[in-house]
């Protein structure tokens, strides 16, 4: 109760600009949490669907059923899988029927299609990441901005009333430092989400590269058997 009373008292004593900064920090924290949780949910779905798809499609490739793997990757239950998007792009270009161009030409087209799908998937995964990076890097400075004006307000009040002493100074500084503390807290949350999501994107990028490489290898093996 005493801590809550102190916070309420400090809030009432703060100037307009520090209060405005605190409100901005609260909004930024909500945005950071919302973006971070939404991205984690998207990544979780992509990871889960991709793991299931990879297990099923690997069995089909071992059996030489490349065409069946295309149908599987196009299944609606894998619509959020980054691996499905990359594999569909490559398999569509490979065109396992005999019509239309040689194997080398098909492979080249497939690799280009895979590269495009990979870049597109990475861009989709990165949506909202810049917001987290911006919040994480600017929040401490916004908080410091509020602290500076809070200290100015404290000294102006001391000068106007003529009151002094360590108690008055300490109270004024405490009021001012709230902005900095809140800014640092918001930055920690945003940076944690930012780094965690970037790490996931790196993992997804590696998975897409491995899956596409495995697809090309299995296609080459299939063609060598048919030759």
pLDDT at 164: 55
At 216, the pLDDT band (50, 70, 90 cuts) reads: confident
Residue 54 · residue 211 · CB < 8 Å: yes
Structure confidence at residue 204 (pLDDT) = 93
What does the chain look like in DSSP terms, one character per residue?
-HHHHHHHHHHHHS-HHHHHHHHHHHHHHHHHHHHHHHHHHHHHHHHHHHHHHHHHHHHHHHTT-HHHHHHHHTSGGGTT-HHHHHHHHHHHHH--SS-SS-HHHHHHHHHHHHHHHHHHHHHHHTTTHHHHHHHHHHHHHHHHHHHHHHHHHHHHHHHHH---SHHHHHHHHHHHHHHHHHHHHHHHHHHHHHHHHHHHHHHHHHHHHHHHHHHHHHHHHHHHHH-
Spatial separation of the C-alpha atoms in residues 12 and 95, rounded to whole Å: 70
Collect all residues with Cβ–Cβ distance below 8 Å to 216 and sequence separation of at least 6: 90, 107, 110, 111
pLDDT tens-place string over residues 164-184: 555 556 666 777 788 888 999
Domain boundaries, the chain: 2-226
Location of structure tokens 């990076």: 133
pLDDT of residue 102: 56
Token pair 């990441």 is at which residue?
Answer: 129
Distance CA(60)–CA(150), nearest Å, equals 66
- Please give the pLDDT value at position 46: 93
Residues 169, 151: Cα–Cα separation, whole Å: 9
| pLDDT single digits (tens) 14-59 | 677 778 888 899 999 999 999 999 999 999 999 999 999 988 888 8
Among residues 52, 83, 57, 81, the alpha carbon closest in space to that of 69 is found at 57
**pTM exceeding the 0.85 threshold for the entire prediction:** no
User: CB–CB of 136/7 below 8 Å?
Assistant: no
Helix axes 16-62, 82-94, angle to 10 degrees: 50
Query: Residues 76-134: pLDDT tens digits?
Result: 899 999 999 998 988 888 765 444 445 778 788 888 899 999 999 999 999 999 999 99
Give the C-alpha separation, 131 to 31, whole Å: 9
* Tens digit of each residue's pLDDT (9 = 90 or more) over 150-166: 777 767 766 665 555 55
């Amino acid at each position: 109760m005493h801590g809550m009373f102190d916070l309420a008292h400090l809030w009432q004593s703060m100037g307009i600009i520090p209060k405005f900064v605190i409100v901005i920090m609260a909004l930024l924290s909500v945005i950071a949490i919302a973006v971070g949780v939404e991205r984690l949910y998207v990544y979780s779905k992509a990871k889960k669907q991709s793991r299931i798809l990879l297990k099923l499609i690997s069995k089909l490739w071992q059996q030489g059923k490349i065409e069946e793997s295309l149908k599987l990757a196009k299944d609606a239950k894998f619509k959020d899988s980054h691996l499905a998007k990359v594999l569909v792009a490559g398999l569509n270009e490979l065109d396992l029927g005999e019509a239309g161009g040689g194997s080398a030409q098909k492979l080249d087209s497939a690799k280009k299609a895979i590269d495009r799908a990979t870049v597109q998937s990475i861009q989709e995964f990165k949506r909202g990441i810049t917001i987290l990076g911006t919040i994480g890097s600017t929040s401490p400075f916004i908080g410091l901005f509020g602290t500076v004006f809070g200290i100015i307000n404290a000294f102006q009040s001391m000068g106007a009333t003529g009151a002094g002493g360590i108690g008055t100074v300490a109270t004024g500084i405490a009021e001012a430092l709230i902005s900095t503390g809140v800014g640092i807290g918001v930055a920690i949350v945003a940076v944690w989400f930012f780094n965690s999501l970037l790490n996931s994107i790196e993992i997804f990028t590696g998975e897409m590269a491995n899956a596409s490489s495995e697809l090309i290898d299995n296609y080459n093996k299939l063609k060598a058997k048919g030759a």
